[in-house]
Structure 1
Amino acid sequence: MRLQVKFLLVILSRGVIPILLNKPWHHVLMNQLLPYDQKDMRHSFKMRSSYLYALFSINGITAGAHRLWTHRTYKANLPLRIFLMFWQTAALQNDIYIWSRDHRVHHKFTDTDADPHNSKRGFFFSHVGWLLCKKHRDVIEKGKTIDMSDVLADPVVQFQRKFYVPLILLTTFVLPTWIPVYFWGESLKVSFISTITRYVLSLNGTWCINSVTHMFGTKPYDKSISSVQNVTMGLIGLGEGWHNYHHTFPWDYRAHEFANFSINMSGAFITFMSKIGWATELKVVPDEAIRRRALRTGDGSRANINTLNKEELISRIPENYNNNVWGYGDKDIENEEVQILKAYS
């Protein structure tokens, strides 16, 4: 995490400060992304390797740390868990255990002082500010109430935690720099710059899920919560930008109504893994349940929701219904699932 903070300071010094000084924006962009040999970087065909590496590392977060280990939306065999662990490590966003713990706390106590990146504290805080200060005491205390035994019991997670430092050096910096140099004759300078650029951009892509998708978008499933549907982040985040759906139904492996490749790459990846037998027990919310929930609590932006009688639906929903669960396995989910089954029967 200290590395993330250092890179943020670089961004501030090379990007934000020049903007405040009225430096032309295109100069700021070039100064940030191409600080050394701009011509080599701009014309390097091998830059595509950085894109692919970024794609796989982000998927290690979205399909791995997020949908598998945090929310338990599906089960993965050992080869798939090792694959996802490798790429999650390459993303360098804390190990699987810490990432999952923080995210479960975020779902359980969304937009309270116990939320690690509480969006009510503003865009900067929810984006990166939460990494630049000490955790609120509520985050620490409430975090102790979250059951993480399932994550710690995974030998793949145990291996990563034991060898995390050498693993991040290898997967985040050494391999993505060395591969273009060795196989394609890329210069060390360009390859290293590509590696750093990839890392900085992928970090901000993840951080945007904590900030942008809690502020800018629609709320077709639950208008009472801060999370929103954001098309741009849905595409950039490999399907993570459909955040209003995800916070409403955190146990759905798709994190959206659809898991097609174009708008939900991680969902499509998990679906493919299930086809070859590496992923099993994929959890999906029934279409009827989605429609009823959208009609009851949504902002009306979801298509085809007016086919139900809203008054009749509301009368069938228990008054104490709530959605504060981190995903499948939360100790509070059993009663909630019973409520859903009764309401949607």
Structure 2
Amino acid sequence: MTPRSTAIPKNWKTFDIPSFFSAFGYPVLGVVLFVTMILLGVFVSQLTFHWWYVPLAFGVIAFSVFWCNMGIGPLHRILQHRAGELAPPAQVVAMLNLFFAMQGRVRDWVNYHSQHHRFADQPGDPHNPFESKRWAWVGWILWRDQNDVERPWPLWLKKHPIIVWMDEFYIQFSIVIHFVVPAIVYLIVWAAGGSLVLTALLHASVIIGRAIQFHATVYGINVLGHLKTPVWADHLMALLTGGEAFHDHHHDQPQSALHRPRKGVWNRIVDYNGTVLLLLEKIGWVRNLKIAPQFA
């Protein structure tokens, strides 16, 4: 089998513009907006700017990373690997978080990830880091094989009409969440006489947090997760990915709602995607969680 990194031609016909915007264009806009608001606040005396805006912005960045992972965790562990069942309210919330995280269509995500597990680190793996680290990071996202995006819905996901319906309107939901909602917030703040500088700074922070989580996922898991890395790097990537970056065991026992042992405060912090699933199970939003024996 020909390696995917060489089999897929790199030209404008295979270049995926929405993926480029999600991976690079939108993050750049967020950084430019963030820097611009800081500079305007510091150097334009007519504008009100307080230094506590900055730590608040960093807090929003951290919260955005967390919120994005609240979509990735259910998608990867439950919808992909069937480590449990999502009740309808949890399906809606997970999908909204995935729109926020800009992860693309669930159908495509699951199909790509299924191929990855079938051909892990071999020709046929959509993002094999041993072919090219750059390809495993973003190349496979930017250049697409049409056959991949035309694959049908995985059979087990067809049993989730909420997921299927919301996924069909991925573009529309994403536009509302990333453009319409912010525009409404700006309008409300302006009408109420609030600080547009602070509003724009926090908006930029949300975009930056989403970008950090996005690249931590695709690089920290697809590349670092398949290479030998120091323990501190594993834990750093885990904090940015909700525990998804703990990858050494994953291909042996993929069907696990937890990626670290159930006991231990630090385990529950770095594997917070699993921790949230445990909490959702207690309120009935998640059912029948499966946990690998070493993590039970």
TM above 0.5: yes
In 2: Cα distance, 1:176 partner to 1:204 partner: 23
Give 1:100's aligned amino acid.
Answer: V
In 2: Cα distance, 1:80 partner to 1:151 partner: 15
Alignment of 1:150-165 (within 5 A): 150-165=156-171
Asked if 2 retains the 8 angstrom alpha-carbon contact of 1:126 and 1:211, the reply is yes
1:203 aligned partner: 214
Asked if 2 retains the 8 angstrom alpha-carbon contact of 1:261 and 1:268, the reply is yes
1:293 aligned partner: none
In 2: Cα distance, 1:108 partner to 1:166 partner: 32
Cα deviation code 1:269-314 (max 9, x no counterpart): 0001111122111111223xx8xxxxxxxxxxxxxxxxxxxxxxxx
Pairing partner for 2:225 from 207, 213, 226: 213
Whose radius of gyration is greater, 1 or 2? 1
In 1: Cα distance, 2:247 partner to 2:187 partner: 39
Give 1:253's aligned amino acid.
Answer: A
Cα deviation code 1:184-235 (max 9, x no counterpart): 744354344334323322221211211121123279xxxxxxxxx9222122
In 2: Cα distance, 1:136 partner to 1:248 partner: 30
Does residue 97 in structure 1 map to residue 107 in structure 2? yes
Alignment of 1:235-254 (within 5 A): 235-254=239-258
Task: Name the CA shift for 1:124/1:84 in 2 (closer, same or farther; >3 Å).
Answer: same
RMSD, matched Cα: 3.4
Alignment of 1:157-306 (within 5 A): 157-175=163-181, 178-179=184-185, 182=188, 185-187=195-197, 189-208=200-219, 209-217=221-229, 230-258=234-262, 260-287=267-294
Aligned pair count reads: 258
In 2: Cα distance, 1:269 partner to 1:72 partner: 16
TM-score, normalised via structure 1 length: 0.64
Asked if 2 retains the 8 angstrom alpha-carbon contact of 1:180 and 1:191, the reply is no
In 2: Cα distance, 1:115 partner to 1:135 partner: 13
Q: Choose between structure 1 and 2 for higher RCO, CA contacts under 8 A separated by at least 6 residues.
A: 2
1:55 aligned partner: 66
Does residue 65 in structure 1 map to residue 75 in structure 2? yes
Give 2:226's aligned amino acid.
Answer: H
Note the C-alpha offset of 1:122.
2.2
Give 1:234's aligned amino acid.
Answer: A
Asked if 1 retains the 8 angstrom alpha-carbon contact of 2:281 and 2:287, the reply is yes
Asked if 2 retains the 8 angstrom alpha-carbon contact of 1:75 and 1:280, the reply is yes
Alignment of 1:88-167 (within 5 A): 88-135=98-145, 140=148, 148-167=154-173
In 2: Cα distance, 1:231 partner to 1:147 partner: 34
Residue segments in structure 2 that go unaligned for 5+ positions in a row: 1-15, 42-48
Cα deviation code 1:110-132 (max 9, x no counterpart): 11222111111122111111122
Note the C-alpha offset of 1:10.
5.3
Give 1:155's aligned amino acid.
Answer: P
Give 2:71's aligned amino acid.
Answer: G
Asked if 1 retains the 8 angstrom alpha-carbon contact of 2:242 and 2:271, the reply is yes
1:82 aligned partner: 92
Which shifted more, 94-103 or 266-275?
Answer: 94-103
